Copies of this chain bind each other. A is one copy, B any other.
């Protein structure tokens, strides 16, 4: 069997990487990294996610064995979600990434400003005499 590689588009590991990063997978796993959450709590914590995308994301993560769904026989039914051991391993790595970004957001903002300033300055530059001779 060949070694699994996320760089190979045909490898199953690429699909899993897409599930756990993607637009919403990482945020849902990150939210569950702090503990069990009810559906409505996830919807609130992962700001901007739609009902449809949250349901789809949870289904994918459940199918990958990263999240366990529990339904309680109450009225109305209560449903909550918990990371499996595998999900916790992934969430830990995602949270490390998110925390690094949150801590260093000012540095990246400065890079953006510098980059955009450089581009503006390049557009304004007047060729020096030698270049015109």
Contact = CB atoms under 8 A, between A and B. Distances in A.
Given A65-B112, A115-B63, A101 B6 contact: yes
A105 interface: yes
Contacts of A114: 65
A105 B16 contact: yes
A129 interface: no
Interface residues of A, number: 55
Contacts of A94: 97
Contacts of A70: none
Contacts of A11: 105
Given A7-B45, A100-B89, A105 B13 contact: yes
Interface string A1-18: 001111111111110111
B13 A98 contact: yes
B9 A48 contact: yes
